[in-house]
Amino acid sequence: MKSQDETLEEWCRALLQAYELEDVQIDVNAILSLAGVAAHSVVRPAAPLTTFIAGFAAGLATGSGQATDAASMSVAMDVARTLAAGYDSASAGTPGE
């Protein structure tokens, strides 16, 4: 039986292949760590939302030529991690902020 890590790595490779992104390097543990920060600092459903938006932002940065894949992913994940870690739901979303 495969371990969870093996299954996640296999799934990651399958997704990358399906999107024809075989050359893109993904740090599964870094993504899971970001999801954990979002889940514990914001609310659990923020985990997939945060990782999706960070990935989308990284893709836009790479696609526009602003940075390499690795740099775009690193910056996008750092921004999301910092924002999630400092999130205060009591004052978030207040108009004018």
Structure confidence by residue, pLDDT tens digits, 2-54: 899 999 999 999 999 999 999 999 999 999 999 999 999 999 999 999 999 99
Tokens of 87: 């999130």
Own/partner long-range contacts of 26-35 (Cβ < 8 Å, ≥24 apart): 26/73, 27/73, 30/77, 31/77, 32/8, 33/81, 34/77, 34/80, 34/81, 34/84
Q: What is the pLDDT of residues 56-95, one digit of tens each?
A: 999 999 999 999 999 999 999 999 999 999 998 767 665 4
